Amino acid sequence: MIDPQQVQDVKRALGAKLARWRKSRGLTQADVAERVYSTRSTIAGVECGQQVADRIFWQRCETFLDAGGELLAGYDGYRSLKQRHDQEKIEARQRARWGEVEGDSRPGMDGVPTGAGQALPPPAQVVRSSTSAGGPVETGWPADRSTGLSWPGLGQVSVDVDPALALHWSEMLRLLAASHNVFGSRQVYDAVCRELAVIRRYRHEAMDDLKSRLLAVEARWAEFGSWTADNLGDATAAAYWLDQALELARRAGDRRMAAYVFMRQAQQAADRLDGTHATRLARTAEAIVSLADRDRALCLIRQAQGHALLGDQPRSLTALKIAHKLIDRAASVGADDSDTIGRHCTLAYLRAHEGYCLLRLGQAKAAARALEEVLDGWPVEYRQDETLARSWLALSYVSVDRLAEAGVEGSRALSLAAATSSARAMRTLGQLHAQLTGKTASAEVVGFRNAFSLVASTARL
């Protein structure tokens, strides 16, 4: 029998080799992470023997560090040892339960002998519930089922899962996020739900470090599912996916993702105009772990929104000031840290939310100036946020009695909201519609109100 401690020792020795080669090249963990498409925390975990990562990771490290085959050979040796150890454990449990078994025949799920080459049963049926987003939401897998082959006393027997899938799904998520920013949630939400079910199936079948990596990937997909549901106006689905993301991040040991989820929950509270919970959740997010500058800036923006909703101007403006410094520092470095999640937290994003906070604090003129400036050079790839910023600008115009301009800006925001299916923007434009009721009957105001009524009625169908 292979001693479990031997497996751990080989894993630590492999991590030490990586650290030695990295240092011999004069590189930081962040340097290596950027070149092998990983994260600094993963590099740190591998080097101290807490993680191993997959073969593709080691192939990239081997090539980048020019390690002469030592790293890849070390990984292959570890995997061979680990697989033999795992097989020994399975066989020992089989003997303990059933005694010696002839050939490959084992008791199947229904007491029928099952050959080792038999195909896996289909995955458990996903539980579905209807949503107002126009499609089913995969809300969970029955806890007592498995996607792998199992029999009494042995639990799940995992099959080989391609380690490249973790990177594949990470890259796919980036593409979907970019599509979402431009075209809106309706184009991607159903695809996200379907892909989450697939990721979950493979995560159940994966083993060891790959399972942890897929948990982390699934957490990010679940958060993205929440974001798309938010923008479609399905608060129930949005809250569900965030809860799932938090649990998956906890199981993966991904504290940065957990912090990001708390920040998103703070954003949801701010959308409900709940300043108290927004500030508390944002402070919790900031305190969980040391965050990359842009991610910490997001936490501070959520705090600023919460304080603004509560009418606390000094704290709101202080949080925005610190966030500004963090974003400036992130921009001065150049490429973001590989651990950064909220890469969309740019200076334009901050300035738009500064305008929102000023509006909530009763400083409509200052809000209008800030929003006018930032929208003049708004990045074309962030249409969802542009829709909200233009909605806030229109509300600022109403507050300073610039009604015709409010109608024009409201119509621009409405066009974007309809194109991107943004329920969040439609809620804000609903406030604008209500505030313009009974106001001057300028052509711009009438045009916006008529168009809003048409779009809102169409959205309800």
What is the C-alpha to C-alpha distance for residues 329 and 333, in angstroms, rounded to an integer? 6
Give pLDDT tens digits for 419-436: 888 899 999 999 999 999
| CA atoms within 13 Å, Cβ hemisphere of 345 | 27
Of residues 355 and 98, the one with the higher pLDDT is: 355
Q: Is the pLDDT of residue 171 over 90?
A: no
CA angle 304, 308, 314 (to 5 degrees): 75
Of residues 112 and 336, the one with the higher pLDDT is: 336
Helix axes 70-98, 4-24, angle to 10 degrees: 160
Q: Is the pLDDT of residue 1 over 90?
A: no
**What is the pLDDT, as a whole number, of residue 70?**
92
Question: Distance from first CA to last CA of the chain, Å, rounded?
Answer: 66
Helix axes 235-252, 208-232, angle to 10 degrees: 160
Question: Do 363 and 400 contact (CB within 8 A), yes or no?
Answer: no
Mean pLDDT confidence for 397-423 = 93
Amino acid letter, residue 107: P
Mean pLDDT confidence for 294-307 = 97
Question: Do 220 and 99 contact (CB within 8 A), yes or no?
Answer: no
Mean pLDDT confidence for 267-296 = 95
Report H helices in 334-402: 347-360, 364-376, 383-399
**What is the pLDDT, as a whole number, of residue 105?**
40
Q: Please name the residues in contact with 258: beta carbons below 8 A apart, sequence gap of 6 or more.
A: 246, 249, 250, 288, 289
Q: What percent of the chain stands above pLDDT 70?
A: 85
Give pLDDT tens digits for 179-223: 877 777 777 888 899 999 999 999 988 887 888 899 999 999 999
Q: Please name the residues in contact with 75: beta carbons below 8 A apart, sequence gap of 6 or more.
A: 14, 52, 55, 58
Of residues 112 and 260, the one with the higher pLDDT is: 260
Centroid of chain to Cα 17? 32
What is the model's pTM?
Answer: 0.68
**Length of the chain as a residue count:** 461
Of residues 401 and 441, the one with the higher pLDDT is: 401
The 10 Å Cβ neighbour count of residue 60 is 18
Q: Which residue has the tokens 């470090």?
A: 209
Amino acid letter, residue 255: R
Q: Is the pLDDT of residue 247 over 90?
A: yes
